[in-house]
Amino acid sequence: MKTKILVTGGAGYIGSHTCIALHEAGYDIVVYDNLSNSNREAINRVSILIGQPIEFIEGDIRDTELLREVFALHKFFGVIHFAGLKAVGESVSKPLLYYNNNVSGTITLLEVMAEYSVKNIVFSSSATVYGDPESLPIDERSKRSCTNPYGQSKLAVEHILEDLAASDDSWNLIALRYFNPVGAHPSGQIGEDPNDIPNNLMPYISQVAVDKLEKLSIFGNDYSTVDGTGVRDFIHVTDLAQGHVAAFDYLEKQSRLNESGTTQQYSVGFLPINLGTGKGTSVLELVCAFSDVSGQAIPYQFTDRRAGDIASCYASVDKAKMLLGWQAELSITDMCQDTWRWQSMYPNGYDVS
């Protein structure tokens, strides 16, 4: 029998790509999403890409009763928990919404998991938990600190998972700390579909390239980096998706070893792991790469630094390689090519009306 995984937030950007990777790796999936920041069309497209319907439940992670029904109906091995709100600016103006959705929602999910003795979870954390790093590359033991409610909500959930692991060693809790996910599925059928004007760099660049936006503002050219612009660790979303498969393969292998009785019972506990490429790319380098790949000019202007931004951020990727046997494979050119394919095929994202 196939191992079954509940994917909360599976209709979203990273979730939809991960559903494909999980299916290809032989996992059975059930998607649970309230569609607050996604479109049912993403689920339809994933179903077409994998050649079979996806089991989809429209629901909120704060809805205890609905979660109970879902857990009673399915025998899950574990949960991948993408569901959450992610706009930093909005989190500053609506902190209660962010704490309620991201923190209370996660507590509700964990409570129902405990009721049904499902104790394997992979949580979407973020490099934002490192704040302004003291040294680079950033490894998992680096100090954590956050300055905005979105980041605080991720950090709060990490603390909850740590406390849970300390209280009961039957929990296996992996927090994947993503660096900067970009790109789209190579088919061009699914990708990132921001609601309004994008806050993030790659979707902004790609919308300038298709003339939806006039000009990119580059926030600061006086950082002490290779060309004065910010440096980030951009990672292709399909590489990131494979990282989730590797994390679940690891949890499954662990549980098989425990069940076989050949090893001493081993608890994964709370395991934070970076998912990045380990390489930094500057904002200007990404703009040039995108322009080369798309053949489009990307007009830009330098403006003031954005409040809260740091100069440079890139991951130490040794832990992911050592424990999960996973590393990112795709280049900045691949990330730009796949983003461009999705953006030029679907300039208005999933809104094809």
Instruction: Please report whether residue 314 would count as binding ligand UDP according to CB under 6 A.
Output: no
Distance of closest approach, residue 63 Cβ to ligand UDP, in angstroms: 29
Distance of closest approach, residue 170 Cβ to ligand UDP, in angstroms: 34
Contacts of 81 (CB under 8 A, 6+ apart): 8, 9, 61, 106, 109, 121, 122, 123, 124
The residue number with the shortest CB distance to ligand NAD is 12
Q: Which is nearer to ligand NAD, 105 or 220 (CB)?
A: 105
User: Is 222 buried (19+), middle (13-18) or exposed (0-12) by CB count in 10 A?
Assistant: exposed
Q: Which is nearer to ligand UDP, 35 or 136 (CB)?
A: 136
Between β-strands 231-232 and 281-282, what pairing exists: parallel, antiparallel or unpaired? antiparallel
Residues at the interface with ligand NAD (CB under 6 A): 8-9, 11-15, 33-38, 60-62, 82-86, 101, 105, 124, 126, 178, 181
The Cα 13–Cα 23 span in angstroms is: 16
Q: Which one of ligand UDP, ligand NAD, none is in contact with 3 (Cβ closer than 5 to 8 A by kind)? A: none
Strand, coil or helix: 196? coil
Q: Which one of ligand NAD, ligand UDP, none is in contact with 225 (Cβ closer than 5 to 8 A by kind)? A: none
Binding mask 179-208 for ligand UDP (x = CB under 6 A): -x------------------xxx--x----
Closest CA to 8 of 154, 99, 122, 86: 122
Near ligand UDP by CB under 6 A: residue from 20, 83, 218, 332: 218
Q: Which is nearer to ligand NAD, 255 or 275 (CB)?
A: 275
Choose, from 32, 150, 223, 250, the residue flagged as catalytic.
150
Q: Which is nearer to ligand UDP, 225 or 255 (CB)?
A: 225
Between β-strands 180-182 and 216-219, what pairing exists: parallel, antiparallel or unpaired? unpaired
Distance of closest approach, residue 315 Cβ to ligand UDP, in angstroms: 12
The Cα 232–Cα 340 span in angstroms is: 20
Instruction: Please report whether residue 309 would count as binding ligand UDP according to CB under 6 A.
Output: yes
Please, are residues 106 and 81 in contact by the beta-carbon 8 Å criterion?
yes
Q: How many CB atoms lie within 10 A of CB 126?
A: 22
150 is catalytic: yes
Q: Which is nearer to ligand UDP, 53 or 89 (CB)?
A: 89
Identify how many contiguous H helices and E strands the chain contains and give both numbers: 12, 13
The Cα 269–Cα 120 span in angstroms is: 10
Binding site for ligand UDP (CB under 6 A): 180, 199-201, 204, 216-219, 230, 232, 283, 306, 309
- Positions marked active-site: 150
